[in-house]
Structure 1
Amino acid sequence: MTADIAAKPADMPFITPRAVAIDGPGLAMDPAHLRLNLRTSPLAALATRDPGGHPFATLTNIATDSDGSPLFLTSQLALHGRNAAANNRVSLSFQPLARDRRGQPGAPSRHGRTAALAGLVLARARLTVSGHAAIDDDPRVRQRFLTRHRKTAAFAQMQDFHIWRVTVAAGHYGLGIDPVDLILDLRDAETLVAAESELLATLNGSHAATLSRLASRLAGALPGAWRATGIDPEGLDLALGDETARLTFQQAVHSPEAALPALELLLDEAM
């Protein structure tokens, strides 16, 4: 079997299909749960291929674009940056969601926060995606990453640093995942994407106390001055220092005008 695997061509599908279904305890294949995990993680293990063809993995800060495509920041002088420039096939493995208050895997509802990087992870399903990485110099994309990871701003000002976007080709979470289950179609949400900066300023200004309450009540996060770092049709990304959380709207939001009413519904849910 080992020889057969080694003989497969380099352009084979990103994640080899499994002929036998694996059914394990706590294995959640709900696409909404997978997108929650993808959106919430502030860190991921980034795997690239070095010039000799060997895998090279490193931890990196991660964010997502409005559609859910993973974003990372790296220097073209760093080994993984040089690797990705030479061979754009990459893989990312994300932190699992925190267990709920009953000790169960994942989130107890549509909302969630990330788990601490400690303890046994072998019993936890981990979300992994594979795809193609490319530099994305769109100022909106850059701002979305820096809003989530403010401490990286000094690095982002250096000429050799760029934001990279990963176009997801496959996913894995115990079983194979179709990219359509991870990446949103934004054709009806152009105005929401364009107004994101203004919406975040409003939310972090006059609605800051509401965000803190929702993070604690719905996502199970510790109390604190949580701030909104991103909004998309499905939900709202939050951060407090190095901690992250996500709130999922009850109904899809496709325009700036629908954002505050959606927040009010979440507030009712938290009562």
Structure 2
Amino acid sequence: MTEDDHGFIARRLLRGASSATLATAAEGQPFASLVTPAVLPDLTVLLLLSDLSEHTRHLKAEPRCSLLAQGVPENANPQTAPRVTITGLAEPAPAELKPRWLARHPYAAFYADFGDFRLWRIRPAAALLVAGFARATRLRQADLLPDAAAVAALAAAEAGIIGHVNEDHADALAAIATGLLGQQPGEWRMTGVDPDGCDLVAGEVVARLDWPAPVADAGGVRVELVAATRRAREMNRLNSEG
């Protein structure tokens, strides 16, 4: 990855966000609220929203919205935090996508089936990436979205990848979680994979492993997981010795 891969940088920020700020409007009055997104491989954003919330009432009347996700600041200045704002139209999403959202937010299982909660989705139309202080780049949809062929290839292979890794390489996932992602030991498993990385979960804790560059197929995922496992085991070895 180079600094010019703005779409990839933006996607990684969006996919890695456990929370984000949703901006809606009612009769011309802007309104911002905290939401918890989950991102599909094609970059569609899923939100589980209550019918009782202010932002849901806004979206039912005016589906145009934006979503802000941000990373960690480089220093004490909050303006150094990388962030991405996407714009798009919100619409109700099929209920069968809820397991995908819950895989990103397992702690929400106890309320996700409450009668007032519905799944919504936003398909990004454009974005503004701020990679740090005074580093802004506008992205068209074509520059933002992942390669469609890669999304399709991994969608076809995802169940096999997840089943194989969880059954045969749980030790590698545990090493990656502790050695590369700064997580505590646990029964780590993979819950999703996409062209930009994969999601790992242990109990209610979710961690994101980003690929260093987008991958195109299952072979690319295998290469990145093998490399990540080697780095993680070396990191764990050094930590145990130091």
More strand by share: 2
Partner amino acid, structure 1, of 2:101: F
Name whichever structure is richer in helix by fraction.
Answer: 2
What does 1:233-248 align with in structure 2 at a 5 Å threshold?
Answer: 233-239=195-201, 241-242=204-205, 244-248=207-211
- Cα deviations by residue, 1:88-129 (Å, 9 ceiling, x for unpaired): 111111131x46xxxx57xxxxxxxxxxxxx65233242111
| 2:102 maps to 1:146 | yes
Partner of 1:254: 217
2:61 corresponding residue in structure 1: 86
The alpha-carbon deviation at position 194 of structure 1 amounts to 4.2
Aligned residues: 223
Aligned mate of 1:183, from 145, 152, 159 = 145
- Identity in percent: 29
1:127 and 2:103 equivalent? no
More moved, 84-93 vs 30-39: 30-39
Please tell me the residue identity of whatever aligns with 1:72. L
TM-aligned CA deviation for residue 250 of structure 1: 5.8
| Code of the aligned partner of 2:104 | R
Deviation, structure 1 residue 138: 5.4
TM-score (norm: length of structure 2): 0.77
Once the two structures are superposed, the pairs formed by residues 92-111 of structure 1 within 5 Å of their partners are 92-96=67-71, 98=72, 104=74
Q: How does 1:15-94 map to 2 (within 5 A)?
A: 30-50=6-26, 52-94=27-69
User: Residues 71, 214 of structure 1: CA spacing in aligned structure 2 closer, same or farther, 3 A cutoff?
Assistant: same
Distance in 1 (CA, whole Å) between partners of 2:39 and 2:222 is 22
Q: Distance in 2 between matches of 1:162 and 1:191?
A: 29
Residue 206 to residue 180, structure 1, CA distance change in 2 (3 Å): same
**5+ long unaligned stretches in structure 2:** 131-135, 235-242
Alpha-carbon contact 2:39-2:45 (below 8 Å) kept: yes
Q: Which residue of 1 aligns with 2:119?
A: 163
Structure 2 match to 1:13: none
Conserved? CA contact 1:75–1:161, under 8 Å: yes
Asked if 2 retains the 8 angstrom alpha-carbon contact of 1:70 and 1:165, the reply is yes
The match for 1:224 is 185
State which of 166, 178, 182 in structure 2 corresponds to 1:204: 166
Distance 1:145 1:78 in 2: 19
Which amino acid is 2:185 matched to?
G
d(CA) in 1 for partners of 2:77 and 2:13? 18
- Name structure 1 gaps, 5 residues minimum: 1-26, 106-118
Amino acid at match of 1:83: H
Q: Output the CA distance in 2 between the equivalents of 1:202 and 1:37.
A: 27
Give the superposed CA RMSD. 2.8
